[in-house]
Amino acid sequence: MKLTRRNAVTALTAMGVSVSVAGCTAPVGDDSAGGDIDEPGHTTPGDEPPVDGLVATAETLYPSSVEVTAEFVETYVHGRAIVDEAYLVEIARAYATVDEHAHEVSGEPFVELTGAERDEVLEDLGVGTATPNPDGGGSEHVRFYLFEELLYAFFVSAEPAAVYDHLNPPGRPGGTETYREAIGE
Amino acid sequence: MSAERTPEDDADVCVIGSGPGGALVAADLAARGYSVVILEAGRWFDPDERHVQMELALRNGYDGLEVWEMGGERDEYLTLEYDVPLNTERVKGVGGTTLHWGAVTPRLHEEDFEMETRYGLARDWPLEYDDLRPYYAAAERELGVSGDEDNPFAPPRSEPYPMEGFPASQADSVYARGCEDVGVRMHTAPHAIASEPYDGRSPCQGYGTCIPVCPSGAKYSADVHVRKAEADGARVIDRAQVHRLEHDSTGETLERAHYTTPDGTEYEQAADAFVVACGAIETPRLLLLSASDAHPDGLANSSGQVGRNLMGHPYVTTVAALEERTRQNEIGFTTSISHEFYDHEEVPTSFQFEFSNVAEYAPMEIVSFTEEWGDDLFEPFDTHYGQVGSIVTAVEQLPDPDNRVTLAGSRTDNHGRPIPMVDWHLGERELETAAFAQEVAADILTAIDGEVVWQSDPETVGMGAHHMGTTRMGTDPDESVVSPELRAHDLENLYISSASTFVTGGAVNPTLTIAALALKVADHVDGRL
């Protein structure tokens, strides 16, 4: 599946965000609206996580069957900024931790690494075994603000059945039909 | 919403607590033109916060109590022999515990009101089911209940539910085969969750997070009625912790409620009538804190019954690994239950089966187990998803005067007031019922080729979320705290609107009965004023 702006708007809607710029609100499924991450005024330059860095992280975390687009990340980040700019700063900090470690391990930014090298950076940081903790440091902080952040965005926005044949994961307003559907038909 | 926390002038009615017991009284009386002030210990939670709260509930890294700011120094309590985890269950905020409840709304059965007459157990209520029947119907309209009339054990009703119920789940269809084998009749459960647009509320959107928070507003919470009360002129003072009720020189009439605001300032709210609606823990605590020369053992406690007969619904669970997959966590509430064992002849006390739609870990929980990512991200799903079903049993607990709420002496809350001490245990009857229920649940799950992998220990499950029975109702002032009109025997203008007035608790979720009694309280306060 391909994660697009539409999926990001779905995720943001589940989070109670109406993606709106200059009075334009994007309903779920409207790919033409949704705001522009370059629109000024929502985050302080330097405190915003780099879109290419988040795309690279999401590509690493999500199964290979999921195609991550920049517009998915852009729209999602923009919506997060509307909710809480300070939260976005934490995401940026978490990514900076990963990127710094990439430099230490390989001398390259995270986005320039191959998939295997990115895995190695995350493993070396201890993200796999870290306990997510919004108040923690290092790997705990990365696990919460980067790893689980992107997974939450995925679970509340993915197309039905993309999540291990789960048609309506909690957090996704998927209606009152799927819980009744037969399995295997 | 009031930013000021100074008292209201010329209040007719002071309602303490804004859960369903308080909110419905306040809305009803405000609509009749009375000047109403509501004092609530917790804060207002803006409905616009609900999605953020849902994320708090779903994201790993939080303990769940952040959602409604439960616990802390304000909510401290002590337990004795049994640990009773109150602060995972009760919410202090405008709307009370309905902010995070499951919204299952059955009525008590006729026999619940006549336990002594029918079975020689406990005490009869001073009311019959028929006395409450019109109030039940009104409460279902107020709360917006969706339901179907398919429960063969339910008490009689004369009108349909306000909305159609939610159909049984795919998982229910699997459980049903086991029930048929064992001879247990399943039926759907009524819910205060809108199945269609209702009273300005959205129909259910399927977020699946009913407990602890409904982002769509489809699930009823009592802040709905607090807002209605406000619209009719009532005033709400949030974060106002009431710590004492003061009476006049005769000791027969309450004059004011003393409350403390977050900065430690103390105020006095005067009114003509007072309605205490603080649940079965904080209601007796407030009465005991209000002891005076005229009421040395606590207000309204000439019977010595304040704080006694604390009841809960211990919930025991049977989990089985199933051969057949079921759709778990695709809806947040239980769709089917069974009152087959609403009975005191075959089993010592009644129990209610609830067939789980949330038996398994949700995806965000499952990924907390993953140490891998990429194509291995879903590996834990192989062992944590699609494997289990469960049956949860709510066991009726009979009143026992030794199960009680008292004051904890020198241990104090954030404002230096003695905290409640909860001495609660299960009796032999309840333990026997729980064991029987676990056997039947295991039989049902085994009949669908399940292998029972876990059963909770009734000795340690605790009292559950349904706290009842510490200021019980009765006609005899020597044996009860409030009259059938829910007025304290000892004070002419003190009413209690709470599950604390329940004489028995049955085996069903208590909130609809709390709501029905609240509407009755409103009638009686109106009659008095």
* Residue of chain A whose Cα is closest to the Cα of B376: A63
The answer to whether residue A92 sits within a structural domain is yes
Q: What is the mean pLDDT of residues B431-456?
A: 97
d(CA B340, CA A28): 44
| A33 has pLDDT over 90 | no
Are A155 and B372 a contacting pair at CB < 8 A?
A: no
Task: Compute φ and ψ for B382, nearest 5 degrees.
Answer: -60, -30
Q: Is there a domain that residue B118 lies in?
A: yes
Q: What is the DSSP letter of B306?
A: T
Sheet with B13-16: strands ordered across = B235-237, B36-39, B13-16, B273-276, B494-496
Q: Are residues B450 and B350 in the same domain?
A: yes
With a cut of 70, say whether residue A40 has pLDDT above it.
Answer: no
The type of residue at B290 is S
Query: What tens digit of pLDDT does each residue of A129-150 get?
Result: 999 999 999 999 999 999 999 9
Examine the domain organization and report whether B64 and B121 are in the same domain.
yes
Closest by Cβ to B357, choosing from A134, A155, A179: A179
**pLDDT for residue B405:** 98
What is chain B's Cα-based Rg?
A: 22
User: Is B175 buried (19+), middle (13-18) or exposed (0-12) by CB count in 10 A?
Assistant: buried
CB pairs under 8 A between A and B: 147
Contacts of A179 in chain B (CB under 8 A): 169-171, 206, 327, 330-331, 335, 357
- Is there a domain that residue B417 lies in? yes
Are residue B115 and residue B246 in the same domain, yes or no?
A: yes
B31 CB neighbour count, 10 Å cutoff: 16
Proportion of chain A above pLDDT 90, given as a percent:
48
- Residues B27 and B17: their CA atoms lie apart, in Å, by 13
What is the Cα–Cα distance from A113 to A119, expressed in whole angstroms?
9
Structure tokens at B346: 């075959």
The verdict on B476 and B456 lying in the same domain is no
Which among B51, B330, B370 is the nearest to A179, CB-wise? B330
CB contact under 8 A, B377 and A63: yes
The residue type at B175? Y
Residue contact A16–B51, C-beta within 8 A: yes
Determine, yes or no, domain membership for B378: yes
B308 lies in a domain? yes
Contacts of B168 in chain A (CB under 8 A): 180
Among the candidates B462, B478, B511, a domain finishes at B462
Element (H, E) at B2: none
Give a yes or no: residue A60 inside a domain.
yes
The secondary structure of B263-292 as a DSSP string is TS-EEEEE-SEEEE--HHHHHHHHHHHT--
Q: Are A176 and B368 inside 8 Å of each other by CB?
A: no
Q: Give the pLDDT confidence score for residue A185 in this predicted structure.
A: 53
pLDDT, tens digit, 9 for 90 and up, residues B262-279: 999 999 999 999 999 999
Give the residue on B whose Cα is nearest the Cα of A154. Answer: B364
Q: Do B387 and B357 have their domain in common?
A: yes
The answer to whether B215 contacts A173, with C-beta atoms less than 8 Å apart, is: yes
For residues B28 and B97, membership in a common domain is answered with yes
Cα separation, B206 vs B146, in Å, equals 15
Residues B178 and B235 in one domain: no
Rounded CA-CA distance B373/B181 in Å is 43
Q: Regarding predicted confidence, which is higher, A17 or A6?
A: A6
Structural domain containing residue A106: 2-180
Q: How far apart are the first and last CA of chain B?
A: 26
Selected for mutation to probe chain A from B67, B331, B365, B370 (highest A CB count within 10 Å) is B331
Which residues are CB-contacts of B166 (< 8 A; sequence separation ≥ 6)?
Answer: A176, B146, B188, B191, B193, B195, B204, B331, B333, B335
Contact A162, A20 (CB under 8 A): no
Domain assignment present for B152: no
Q: In terms of C-beta density within 10 A (0-12 exposed, 13-18 middle, 19 or more buried), how is residue B125 classed?
A: buried
Kindly determine whether residue B373 and residue A167, on different chains, have CB atoms separated by under 8 Å: no
Residues B86 and B133 in one domain: yes
Going by pLDDT thresholds of 50, 70 and 90, the confidence category of residue A161 is: low
Q: Which amino acid is at B189?
A: A
Of residues A23 and A172, which shows the higher confidence score? A172
Q: Is residue A13 part of a domain?
A: yes
Q: How far is B65 from chain A (nearest CA, A)?
A: 15
Best residue of B333, B364, B383 to probe chain A, by most A CBs closer than 10 Å: B364
Chain A, nearest residue to B333 by Cα: A179
The continuous run of DSSP H or E covering B315 comes out as strand B315-321
Between CA B248 and CA A42 the distance in angstroms is 58
Residue A3 has φ and ψ, to the nearest 5°, of -90, 115
Strands B315-321 and B36-39: unpaired
pLDDT of residue B344: 82
Q: Of the candidates B305, B295, B283, which has an alpha carbon nearest to the alpha carbon of residue B479?
A: B305
Q: Is the peptide bond before B212 cis (omega within 30 degrees of 0)?
A: yes
| A-chain residue closest to B328, CA distance | A179
Determine the Cα–Cα distance for residues A134 and A123; give it in Å rounded to an integer: 20
Sheet holding B266-270, edge to edge: B241-247, B254-260, B266-270
CB B449 within 8 A of CB B324: yes
User: Minimum mean pLDDT among A16-25, A62-71, B81-90, B359-368: which range?
Assistant: A16-25
**Nearest CB neighbour to B363, from listed A132, A133, A163:** A163
Q: Is the pLDDT of residue B224 over 80?
A: yes
Contact between A132 and B166 using a beta-carbon 8 Å cutoff = no
B416-451 exposure pattern, b = at least 16 Cβ within 10 A, e = fewer: ebbbbbbbbbbeebbbbbbebbbebbbbbbbbbebe
With beta carbons less than 8 A apart as the criterion, state whether B508 and B394 touch.
yes
For B489, counting Cβ atoms within 10 Å of its Cβ (0-12 exposed, 13-18 middle, 19+ buried), the class is buried
Please tell me the distance from the alpha carbon of residue A17 to that of residue A9, in angstroms, as a whole number.
Answer: 8
Picking from B334, B360, B367 by the largest number of A CB atoms within 10 A of its own CB, the best residue to mutate is B367
Q: Distance between CA atoms of B462 and B447, rounded to whole angstroms?
A: 29
Which of A164, A177, A181 faces B385 most closely, judged by CB atoms?
A164
Cβ of B209 within 8 Å of Cβ of A179? The answer is no
Within 8 A of A115 by CB-CB distance, chain B residues are 374
| Average pLDDT value for chain B | 95
Q: Is residue A75 part of a domain?
A: yes
User: Please, are residues B470 and B281 in contact by the beta-carbon 8 Å criterion?
Assistant: yes
Nearest C-alpha in A relative to B54:
A171
- Distance CA(A4)–CA(B422), nearest Å, equals 54
Give B-chain residues touching A1 at CB under 8 angstroms. none
The nearest CA of chain A is from the CA of B49 a distance in Å of 8
User: Residue B226 domain-assigned?
Assistant: yes
Beta strands in chain A (DSSP E): 2-3, 19-21, 24-26, 67-68
Number of structural domains in chain A: 1
B369 compared with A97, residue with greater pLDDT: A97
B358 CA to chain A: closest CA distance, Å? 10
* Confidence category of residue A37, pLDDT binned at 50, 70, 90: very low
- B411, B442: one domain: no
Burial class (CB in 10 A: 0-12, 13-18, 19+), B522: buried
* Confidence category of residue A36, pLDDT binned at 50, 70, 90: very low
Q: Under an 8 A CB cutoff, do A170 and B368 touch?
A: no
| pLDDT tens-digit readout, B143-163 | 999 999 999 999 999 999 999
Q: CA–CA separation, B277 vs B7, rounded Å?
A: 18
Pairing of strands A2-3, A67-68: parallel
**3-class secondary-structure state, position B99:** helix
Is the Cβ pair B330, A17 closer than 8 Å? no
Best residue in B48, B49, B51 to probe A by mutation, most A CBs within 10 Å? B51
- Based on the domain organization, do B500 and B481 belong to the same domain? yes
**CA distance from start to end of chain A:** 21
Q: What is the pLDDT of residues B382-411, one digit of tens each?
A: 777 778 999 999 999 999 999 999 999 899
Q: Which two tokens stand for residue B476?
A: 């005899």
Please indicate, yes or no, if residue A165 is contained in any of the structural domains.
Answer: yes
- Judgement on whether residues B216 and B332 belong to the same structural domain of the protein: no
The CATH number assigned to the domain holding B320 equals 3.30.410
> Is the Cβ pair A16, B48 closer than 8 Å?
yes
Domain count, chain B: 2
A16, part of any domain? yes
The minimum CA-CA distance between A43 and chain B, rounded to whole Å, is 20
Distance of CA A156 to the CA centre of its chain: 10
Q: Are residues B141 and B237 in the same domain?
A: yes
pLDDT digits (tens, 9 = 90+) for B43-63: 999 998 899 899 999 988 888
pLDDT of residue B276: 98
**DSSP-based three-state secondary structure for B452:** strand
pLDDT band at B372 (very low <50, low <70, confident <90, very high): confident
Q: What is the DSSP string of A7-35?
A: HHHHHHHHTT--EEETTEEE-TT-TT-S-
The alpha carbon torsion through B102, B204, B207, B223 (nearest 10 deg) reads -50
Which residues on chain A are in Cβ contact (under 8 Å) with B50? 16
Long-range contacts of A125-134 (CB under 8 A, 24+ apart): A125/A97, A125/A98, A125/A101, A128/B370, A128/B371, A128/B372, A128/B373, A129/B371, A131/B61, A132/B59, A132/B60, A132/B61, A132/B368, A133/B61, A134/A90, A134/B61, A134/B62
User: Tokens for B357?
Assistant: 């739609």
With respect to residue B454, please indicate whether it lies within any of the assigned structural domains.
yes
> Residue B279's domain spans which residues?
9-146+191-198+208-312+400-424+467-529
When the pLDDT of each residue in chain A is averaged and rounded to a whole number, the result is: 81
Considering only alpha carbons, which residue of chain B is nearest residue A129?
B371
- Identify all chain B residues contacting A15, using CB atoms and an 8 Å cutoff: 51-52, 54-55
Which tens digits make up the pLDDT trace of A80-124? 777 677 888 899 999 999 999 999 999 999 999 999 999 999 999
What was the pLDDT predicted at B63? 82
Contact B207 A176 (CB under 8 A): no
In a domain? residue A185: no
Within-domain flag for A113: yes
Closest by Cβ to A183, choosing from B58, B327, B373:
B327
Q: What average pLDDT does this structure show over B502-519? A: 98
A contacts of B377 (beta carbons < 8 Å): 61-63
Give the CATH number for residue B62: 3.50.50.60
User: What residues contact residue B523 under an 8 Å CB cut-off, 6+ apart?
Assistant: none
Residue B4 lies in a domain: no
Q: Which of B433, B462, B491 is the last residue of a domain?
A: B462
- Strand, coil or helix: B114: coil
Asked if the model's pLDDT at residue B4 lies above 80, the reply is yes
Percent of chain A with pLDDT over 70: 82
